[in-house]
Structure 1
Amino acid sequence: MEKKFTVTRTSKSLVPPSSSSPTPAATEDDAPVPVIMRLSTIDRVPGLRHLVLSLHAFDGHGVVAGEDDEERIRWPARVVREALGKALVDYYPFAGRFVVDEEGEVGVKCSGEGAWFVEAKAECSLEEARHLDGNPMEMVIPKEDLLPEPIPGVDPLDIPLIMQVTEFTCGGFVVGLISVHTIADGLGAGQFINAVADYARGLPKPRVSPVWARDLVPDPPKMPAPPPKLELLDLRHFTVDLSPDHIAKVKSQYFASTGHRCSAFDVVVAVTWQSRTRALRLAGAGYDDVHVCFFANTRHLMLHGGAGAAGFYGNCFYPVRATCGSAEVASADVAGVVKVVRDAKARLAGDVARWAVGGFEQDPYELTFTYDSLFVSDWTRLGFLEADYGWGPPAHVVPFSYHPFMAVAVIGAPPKPKLGSRVMTMCVEEDHLPEFRDQMNAFAFTAGK
C-alpha cells in the first residue's frame, strides 16, 4: 500500500488589500459604503458560477537569491501572503464578495474584506509526493489536503478567491487555488496570479496593469436558452502525455495536405475527439453526430482594441463548437479531424459578431451537456506555467476542471523537465474506457515513428 503523507494547516486568515486607497466606495451619511461593481454579460452566465480548483507545485530549485534574501526564501507562505495583500490593492474586486441584486443579477461588492489564505506544512518532500504527478484523483497527498478549506459560515461561491500555500521539507511548496469563474476567465486568473508573483519577487508593481472595463464586453439582447439538461455521467479518469514529436508529425501531415499550418492545440483536440469517438462507436454507442466544444479568447474581437484591453481580466471568451458525423470522425486521418477543428475556429469572428447583435435563436453561452459532446479546456496559455514567486516557475500545474455531467479533456503540461502536452480526461464511462485508452496510447506510441 502506498504511503500517505500528512499535511497540517498552521494558519488561516483573511488577507485584505495592504492599502485601501484605490478601493471604490460611495459616501452615505459621511460614512463610506462599498460600491457594487457590475459584471459583464459573459461574467453573469449562470454556468460560470462555479469553483475552479488547481494545484501549482514549485520545487524551489530555480531560486536565485542574495544574502538579504536567505531568510525570505525559507518562508514561501509568508512571502506569498504578503504579496497577495499587495496584489489585492490593484485587483480589489478579488478582495470583495459576490452579491445578488433584486433582479437576480450578480455583482461584486468592493468590501475589502480580503481573500482567505491558509498556511500549511507537509511532512515530506515534493519528490516523495512525486511532484503531484500521476492520477490527480489518486495522488500521494489527497488534493483536499492541499486546497484551502472554505471560510466557516461563508458560501464558497460568494468569495472570489481562496488560497493555500503548503511548505514541504525540501524547501519546495504547493499553491492551492480555488476561485469563482464569475470574476475572471483563465487568462484573467492567470494575470492575477502573475501579479501576486511579481510582488513576491520584489517588483514595485505588476507587469500588467489590471483593467475592469466590463462595459466594453457586448451586451446583446437576451436570447432564449436551450432547455436545461444535466445528465449525471459515471466518468472515468485517464491521462496521457503526447510528445512534441507526436504533435509535430500531425502538423507536418496537415501542412502537406492543406498548405496551411495548425497548432499543437488543434492536434491534441483532434486526437482526443477522434479517440473518444472511435471508443464510443466500437462499444456500440450509436451516435450519428458527435461534437467538440472549446472556449476561445475573444479580447481581440470583443474589446475592439480599447485602451487597456491587454490588462482586462474578466470573462472574455466564446464557445467554439464543431459537429461532424461520428463515422467521418472515426475513419478520417488525424489531419482530417484537425481540419474540422480549424474550420470551426475560422467561424469565430463571424459568430461573435452575430452573437453581439442577438442573431442566434438560442444563447450560445447556455451550453447543453450530453454524452455525445466533448468539452476541451486548454491550460497551457493562461500564464500559470510562467508564474514565478521567486523560486522559478512551477514544476507542475494540476487543474481540476471536471464535472459529473460534462465529458471533459484538459490540456496541460507534464511535470518538468518532460516536454509535450498532457491530456487529462474525464470523458468516458467505464464501458468505453479500455478502447479510449488504447486509442490514445496507440497514437502516443506510433505517431513519433
Structure 2
Amino acid sequence: MGFAVRRTSRSYVRPSAATPSGALELSIIDRVVGLNHLVRSLHVFAAAAAPVAGRQDDDAWTTSPSPARALREALGKALVDYYPFAGRLVDGAGGPGVSRVECTGEGAWFVEAAAAFSLDDAGRLDQYPYVIPEDDLLPDAAPDVEPLDLPLAMQVTEFSCGSFVVGLICCHSLADGLGAAQFINAVGDYARGLPKPRVSPVWERDIIPSPLSLSSAPPVFSRMFQFRHLAVDLSLDGIARVKSQFLQSTGQRCSTFDVTVAKVWQARTRSLRLADPATRVSLCFFANTRHLLCGGAAAAAGFYGNCFYTVTVSAKSSAVVGADTAGVVAMIRDAKARLPAEFARWAAGELVAQDPYELSFTYESLFVSDWTRLGFLEADYGWGTPEQVIPFTYHPCMPIAVIGPPPAPKTGARVTTRCVEEENLQEFMDEMKAFQK
C-alpha cells in the first residue's frame, strides 16, 4: 500500500473581522535569540462516531463541514482575538534581539490534505519511524515569507476512516507552549460553536520583568550532533514504585514529572560512559513562572507570551550514575525548590553574571520539555480531544527529551528523545527499559 498524502489546498487564512494594525513589542524573554525557532507538532484525532459537538441540527453529522473546513473557519475567527498570529515577525535595527510583531493581518498559512488510507493503516502514528514522513503531515513552506517571520502555519490531513491529523508549526518567539495551546483551544472553542474563546487573550508583554543583565547574544553551538530518535513509555507501576521509595526515604512526595526526568537523565548519563567520573553533567528544564509574576497567576491569566525560567541541575556524572532513581529525584526537587528565589533575583537584576536564558549546548547536557499539562490534549474541534500529540521540537545541537502521555488508552508517561548518538543509543534504550522491571 502507498502512504502518500496529497495536499489539496493552500492559502492564507486572514482574521474574519477587522483587527488592529501597527507594531507590537515583544518581551525580553520573547526576544531571546535561542527562542527564534519553529516548534513543530502533530495532533492526532480519532474518527468520531457522533455529530459535531455544539451544532444544533439533527443531521449535524452529515451536514457539518469536514475537519479541515471547520478548522479553517474557526481559525479565521480566532485570529481576530489573537491577531498577532496573523501578522509577521520582523527584526529591529539591532537584529533578532530587538524583534517585534507587525500586525499586518496577512494571515496564518493553512493547508488541507487527504490520505487515501486509514489511520490504522498508518499504525496510528504510534511507532517511529512512521509509514508517513512527518514532513508530509506538516504544512509545507508558505510563499514569499521567511519561515521564522510567519508566526503560525497549520495543515489538516483527513484520513479515509474519518480520523485527521493537525500539523502545527508555531514560532516560539511569539508564544510558549502554554500560550500556543491556549490559542489552539480558542480555535477549538469557535469550531464547536462557542461565541468567543473561554480564555480571553492577554498581550501585555510588559508584565515580564526586563532586567538589564539579560543577554541577547545568539546561542553558541559547540557542534552538530547526529541524534537518534527514541520514544519509551514508562509504566504507572514503575513511576509509583519510585514515588514510594522517595516517600520512604525522605517523608516527602514527588511528582510523575520528577520521576520521569530523573530516570531519563540517569539513563542517559549512564549510557554516555564518561571516562572521568568527575565530569559534570547538567539537566535543564523550563518552568512556567506565571504564578511568580507580580499579581500571581490571576494577573497573568490569558497571557500567551513566553513566561518561563530555566531550572538547571548540575552534578558529577558519578553522582548521577551511582544514585538510585529516588536520589536523582531529590536533586531535581532541590532545584525546583530554588526556583521562586532565583526567579525573583533574576527579575530584580541581581543575577548579573548568570543569565539563565543563555544556554550551553554540549553532549554532557540534557534539556527536558514537559508537554503533559500545556493544554494541547484538551483541544476539541468538535470531534473530541486528540488521542496523542507528537512533538518535533528538536535541534541538532540540543540534546532534548520531551515528556507527555502515551497515546490513549495507554497510561503512564512517554519520553520522546533525540539526545544520544548511535554509539550510545542501545545502552540508553536498555537503561530506559530497565525501569519497567
TM over 0.5: same fold? yes
Return the letter of the residue paired with 1:254.
F
Preserved CA contact (<8 Å) 2:15 2:105: yes
Cα offset, 1:415, TM superposition: 1.2
1:56 aligns to what?
Answer: 43
Return the letter of the residue paired with 1:353.
A
1:107 to 100, 103, 119: 100
1:70 to 57, 61, 66: 61
Return the letter of the residue paired with 2:126.
D
Preserved CA contact (<8 Å) 1:302 1:316: no
Counterpart Cα distance in 2 of 1:169 and 1:223: 51
Preserved CA contact (<8 Å) 1:211 1:312: yes
1:249-276 per-residue CA deviation (whole Å, 9 max, x = no partner) reads 1111111111111110000000000111
- Unaligned residue ranges in structure 2 (runs of 5+): none
2:307 aligns to what?
Answer: 316
1:215-257 per-residue CA deviation (whole Å, 9 max, x = no partner) reads 0000101345698233111211111101111111111111111
Preserved CA contact (<8 Å) 2:42 2:390: yes
Is 1:390 the counterpart of 2:377? The answer is no
1:92-129 per-residue CA deviation (whole Å, 9 max, x = no partner) reads 00001011222331101111111010001001111111
Is 1:401 the counterpart of 2:361? The answer is no
Counterpart Cα distance in 2 of 1:351 and 1:358: 11
Cα offset, 1:72, TM superposition: 4.7
Preserved CA contact (<8 Å) 2:157 2:166: yes
Return the letter of the residue paired with 1:121.
A
Cα offset, 1:362, TM superposition: 3.0
2:407 aligns to what?
Answer: 415
Counterpart Cα distance in 2 of 1:214 and 1:15: 25
Preserved CA contact (<8 Å) 1:195 1:207: yes
1:212 aligns to what?
Answer: 203
Is 1:252 the counterpart of 2:244? The answer is yes
Change (3 A) 1:195 1:63: farther
1:169 aligns to what?
Answer: 160
Cα offset, 1:326, TM superposition: 0.9
1:123 to 116, 122, 132: 116
Cα offset, 1:45, TM superposition: 0.3
Cα offset, 1:395, TM superposition: 1.1
Q: Secondary structure at the match of 2:434?
A: helix
CA RMSD of aligned residues (A): 1.6
Counterpart Cα distance in 2 of 1:83 and 1:176: 16
Preserved CA contact (<8 Å) 2:3 2:115: yes
Change (3 A) 1:331 1:72: farther
Preserved CA contact (<8 Å) 1:4 1:140: no
Q: How does 1:28-107 map to 2 (within 5 A)?
A: 34-61=21-48, 63-65=50-52, 67-73=58-64, 75-104=66-95, 105-107=98-100
Change (3 A) 1:109 1:62: farther
2:360 aligns to what?
Answer: 368
Counterpart Cα distance in 2 of 1:196 and 1:430: 40
Q: How does 1:242-281 map to 2 (within 5 A)?
A: 242-281=234-273
Counterpart Cα distance in 2 of 1:38 and 1:287: 45
- Unaligned residue ranges in structure 1 (runs of 5+): 25-33
Q: How many residues align?
A: 429
Q: Secondary structure at the match of 2:424?
A: helix
Counterpart Cα distance in 1 of 2:186 and 2:341: 34
Preserved CA contact (<8 Å) 2:277 2:316: no
Return the letter of the residue paired with 2:434.
A
Cα offset, 1:6, TM superposition: 1.0
Is 1:304 the counterpart of 2:302? The answer is no
1:6 aligns to what?
Answer: 4
Return the letter of the residue paired with 1:421.
A
Q: How does 1:326-341 map to 2 (within 5 A)?
A: 326-341=317-332
Change (3 A) 1:388 1:303: farther
TM-score, length of structure 1 as denominator length? 0.92
The worse-fitting range, judged by mean Cα deviation, of 158-167 and 357-366 is 357-366
TM-score, length of structure 2 as denominator length? 0.95
1:18 aligns to what?
Answer: 16
